[in-house]
Chains A and B, each alone.
Chain A
Amino acid sequence: MMRLRIDFQKTSPIRFIGHLDLFRIWERTFRRAGIPLAYTQGFKHHPRINIASALPLGFTSSHEIMDFWLDQILPIKNVLEALQTALPSGLIVNQISPIELSAPSLQSILIGSEYQVTFLEKIPNLETIVEELQNRATIEIERRGKRIDIKPYLFSISLLPFDENNNQQLFLYLSSSQDQNARPDEVIQAIDYDPLDALFHRLQLVFENGTKTSQ
């Protein structure tokens, strides 16, 4: 048995794929590549794939992290090369590295996510809005019918330079741990901006011990 960690990008058109579909896409990619994934035991066999954090439909990302298990030991170089020939458009592999079989699960060590938000419609006084948000005691949003305060999950917010189309951009660092988390679109909703008029891009995931995926 071998456990590998893959760092990949999710871009168009695969940004329009939901989390569940992504599992199936990876499974088929591995099969095309001829890389034998290990399967879970039980009634219905599932390939052993573990994605650190679900990326909401529509989001792009520079660094998503996923662990997968193989039944046999293969040189990483071969795995990488085989995968490269089988990837669907929109998935790009940055890196593959070996991981101790006994290493903790990705979810259990995930702390937060850094996002870049691009506003496709102009927001007057974005600077003041951001400042105001930073100073608020609570940021109440609605999630599945319940009101919750996401202020404790907003680790950091700041303005970014305009993008090449002169759109305003924002940097957000949000908690992504299993039961304390916020999504960037929730923050954007809190400033009364329609998230459908924004582009969301995950820059990286931050894990315990401070490792960032881009490092």
Chain B
Amino acid sequence: MNDSPVEINNILQRILPRVQKPARYTGGEYNQILKDWNNTKLHVCLIFPDIYDLGMSNLGLMILYDLINQRSDALAERAFSPWLDLEDQLRKFNLPLYALESKHPLKAFDILGFTLPYESLYTNALNILDLAQIPLFSDQRALQHPLIIAGGHSTFNPEPMHSFIDAFVIGEGEEVIQEILDVYSDWKIETLPFENIPPSISKSKRNELLKHLAKLDGVYVPKFYQEHYNLDNTFSRLEPIEPGAPETIRKRIVGKLPPPPTRLIVPYIETVHDRIPLEIMRGCTRGCRFCQAGMITRPVRERGVDEIIQSIQQSIKNTGYEEVGLLSLSSSDYTNILDLIHSFNQHFSLDTLSVSLPSLRIDSLSVELMQSLGLARRNGFTLAPEAATERMRRIINKPVTTDQVLETADAIYSNGWSTIKLYFMIGHPLETLEDVQAIVDLSKMVIRIGRKHIGNRAQVNVGVSTFIPKPHTPFQWTVCDTEEQIQIKLSMLKDQLRGKGIKLTWNPPDATFLEAWLSRGDRRMANVIYQAWQLGAKFDAWNDQRNLSAWQQAFEINQIEPDFYTHRQRAMDEAFPWDHISIGVRKKYLLQDYQWSLSGKTRQDCRDHCFACGILPKYNSLRKQNPGNAWKCPDVISREKSNQHDAIAN
């Protein structure tokens, strides 16, 4: 057995010279935290199931790493998917997948925490369990196996992964992870030792742990629920079958964003976002109807300008990074954006610290912001109208006018940028071929503006993705385009968006469908995922690795028609497999918003006008504890206070 860190390390030294980028697998980076294994009670390994180069840019993982390692009774280490070359070697030497810090095998940890921000990581998660030599199915695991938990945006529909994950963490992890560790810790003391326990007792003791976890707000333990289907195979309901398992699981949020991590691990090799990530705000009030992130991360909570500046200063000191990313779903909406930029320029020299400010609104203010940040013009300026006609933009609730797009493009080209990146989606509900043609026309109008200013240096890069009706959005009732429709639309774009100064990139339809099946699936998808993995599917997020025929075969084996999930218009009253997950926004509100969209009715930014989406009653006490401007929802006035108001008024 090659199971001790020393043995693993010895074999690794022989293996690593044989793989690409071996520094993905060594650990030891600056700011890594390596604690004494034997003197620490709880061992957690945080896992991003794709390669290191991507995973090290995942902010959620870094936040939890920081928080867990602050506890004296716990340690957190990291693991990622090995690339194919290392996987071959691990399998050849029968070496279990290990954590980067201590080189302990994953199976020696108490808890493995997967971060699943998107669905195309699912087969990789299975592959990691397999490489870790841990049973894939939750019901096959016993006391000696780690508890497998998962969180992240894709787990807002946890059902497709319900067979593999012991407990899902729905929503923001900062507080609930502490509660999970506390529960685990108490249970562990009661239950030890884990060795030499008869299988039946072992399982029931593990069940005890899950029962405790199911009581935590925001934790979903799928094995305590039974699903029911209608005769037509549609989903009917999910029934709690364990006393204490709640009917609905309300997502967790933090009332106030905790201090951002500043002691970030500095990778030896370049990663996709090789910079300080600084979240300036969480949530979004815009209400674009296709956008799952915008719906599930409500309410908007902002960090203060001073806190942001201080955190950046601290992070530079601790890491030596030369770039910071000011992160949010919609940077221009940050209330004090001008103050922030002003303060930023006062504290930092742009010669030595560059900054990126993604997700800007389409208006001239954005151009001013980018200019005052001296942003690297060679990177181009990104605008995301998402649709090219005003009609379509009203349907998706991104009501910018075409004039605004063109005026902004004008401001961009006349201020020194030579490249504009335009992002669109095809396949929106009610889309016609005219709307697609408009993508061509609008892109050409933009390039003409560019040529007017800078001649042939002007460049437009058009990125086109395909709409997916994601759970918990106003569009969850609608359908995906068929492959045929997508191909027709794509070829319209490919035929016309070519030539000098124009570059078109698009998502392949198979990537779209896979993401759609996995995001909309019910419990029956679990076996499809398992089978697809067995047939060789992994790295599904990689266009050169995705194996669609494995997926098609997996659907066939399970006698499931994939179109059932993606090409079937849902009745207004249809139950969804994710209805037991509450995002705080009422389903009725989403439905109303869907109906509004069908009649072209837009909904303004709810910062300016609260539409009572449901967040405030759901998180009433949290809002009361955190009054004032940090939240962008209205204050809730407690009863006594409003009585006082009345008294004064009287």
Contact = CB atoms under 8 A, between A and B. Distances in A.
Interface string A1-27: 000000000001110110001001101
24 contacts: A12-B13, A13-B23, A13-B27, A13-B28, A14-B28, A16-B16, A16-B26, A17-B269, A21-B268, A27-B322, A28-B319, A28-B321, A29-B320, A31-B320, A31-B322, A31-B352, A32-B30, A32-B318, A32-B320, A86-B320, A88-B266, A120-B14, A196-B17, A197-B14
Nearest to B316: A31
Interface string B2-29: 0000000000011011100011001111
Nearest to B20: A57
Interface of B: 13-14, 16-18, 22-23, 26-30, 266, 268-270, 316-322, 351-352
Contact of A17 (B268, B318, B320): B268
Contacts of B28: 12-14, 88-90
Contacts of A29: 320
Given A32-B318, A196-B17, 14 more contacts: A12-B13, A13-B23, A13-B28, A13-B268, A16-B23, A17-B23, A21-B268, A21-B269, A28-B322, A30-B320, A32-B319, A32-B320, A58-B22, A90-B28
B515 to A, nearest CB: 33
B14 A24 contact: no
Given A13-B268, A88-B29, A90-B28, A21 B320 contact: no
A45 interface: yes
A28 B29 CA distance: 12
A125 to B, nearest CB: 24
Contacts of B320: 27-32, 86
A196 B319 contact: no
Contacts of A196: 17-18
A177 to B, nearest CB: 27
Nearest to B351: A45
A100 to B, nearest CB: 27
A16 B16 CA distance: 8
Interface of A: 12-14, 16-17, 21, 24-25, 27-32, 34, 39, 45, 57-58, 86, 88-90, 120, 196-197
B30 to A, nearest CB: 4
B22 A57 contact: yes
Give the interface centre of B27, B28, B316 by most chain A CB atoms within 10 Å: B28
Contact of A13 (B26, B270, B316, B317): B26
Contacts of B270: 21, 24
Contacts of A16: 16, 22-23, 26, 268
A13 B22 CA distance: 9
A115 to B, nearest CB: 16
Contacts of A28: 30, 266, 319-322
Contacts of B18: 196
A88 B22 CA distance: 17
Nearest to A24: B270
A90 B22 CA distance: 14
A196 B352 CA distance: 40
A28 to B, nearest CB: 3
A48 to B, nearest CB: 14
Contacts of B318: 32
Contacts of A34: 317
A117 to B, nearest CB: 13
A66 B27 CA distance: 25
A12 to B, nearest CB: 7
Contact of A88 (B13, B268, B317, B321): B268
A6 B258 CA distance: 41
Please list the 6 inter-chain residue pairs (A to B) with the smallest Cβ-Cβ separation, ordered nearest first: A28-B320, A13-B26, A31-B320, A32-B320, A13-B28, A16-B22
B17 A58 contact: yes
A30 to B, nearest CB: 7
A17 to B, nearest CB: 5
A45 to B, nearest CB: 7
A57 B16 CA distance: 11
Contacts of B30: 28, 32, 88-89
A46 B180 CA distance: 46
Contacts of A30: 320
Nearest to A39: B351
A140 B22 CA distance: 29
A10 to B, nearest CB: 12
B267 to A, nearest CB: 9
A1 to B, nearest CB: 17
Contacts of B29: 88-89
Contact of A21 (B17, B23, B319, B322): B23
Contacts of A58: 16-17, 22
Contacts of B13: 12
B574 to A, nearest CB: 52
A34 B14 CA distance: 37
Contacts of B17: 58, 196
A86 B321 CA distance: 13
Give the interface centre of B23, B318, B320 by most chain A CB atoms within 10 Å: B320
B268 A25 contact: yes
Contacts of A120: 14
Give the interface centre of A12, A16, A28, A31 by most chain B CB atoms within 10 Å: A16
A59 to B, nearest CB: 10
Give the interface centre of A30, A58, A88, A196 by most chain B CB atoms within 10 Å: A88
B396 to A, nearest CB: 39
Give the interface centre of B13, B17, B269, B316 by most chain A CB atoms within 10 Å: B17
A37 to B, nearest CB: 10
Contacts of B351: 39, 45
